[in-house]
């Protein structure tokens, strides 16, 4: 009687190839900021593409190779969009020291 009963085979159900992906929480949320490097451009060419823990993030106005701090503006299914909060180069400790020294005067 082998193969006649699918319930005793230990299977958890039919295998679906190309079906919907299992639900997974996004590793980001709206308003959070991250330091990223832009890896590529979107197909339309209007946004840079970065990845955060495998999640694709579209960054408006960014170019390949840019190191920027981004702020998440929208989280979709399998992607997120973000805006540039600041460039990482301007966040160096030297720049902060100069800014605080100027404000003391």
Q: What structural domains and CATH numbers belong to the chain?
A: 27-88 (2.40.50.140)
Residue 50, CA distances (Å) to 2, 10, 32 in order: 51, 41, 15
**pTM strictly above 0.85:** no
Nearest residue to 6 (alpha-carbon basis) of 90, 14, 91 = 14
Residue 37 CB neighbour total at 10 angstroms:
14
**CA 56 – CA 79 distance, rounded (Å):** 5
From first to last of its 105 residues, the chain has per-residue pLDDT tens of: 555 554 455 556 666 666 666 666 788 999 999 999 999 999 998 999 999 999 999 999 999 999 999 999 999 988 999 999 976 655 445 444 444 444 444
Does the CA dihedral 86-90-96-101 come out positive or negative? negative
């Amino acid at each position: 009687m082998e193969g006649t009963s699918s319930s005793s085979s230990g299977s958890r159900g039919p295998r679906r190839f190309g079906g919907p992906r299992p639900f997974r929480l996004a590793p980001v949320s709206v308003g959070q900021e991250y330091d990223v490097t832009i890896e590529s451009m979107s197909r339309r060419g209007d946004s840079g593409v970065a990845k955060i823990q495998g999640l694709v993030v579209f960054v408006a106005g960014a170019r390949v190779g840019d190191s920027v701090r981004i702020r998440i503006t929208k989280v979709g299914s399998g992607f997120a969009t973000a805006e540039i909060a600041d460039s990482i180069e301007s966040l160096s400790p030297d720049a902060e020291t100069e800014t605080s020294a100027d404000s003391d005067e």
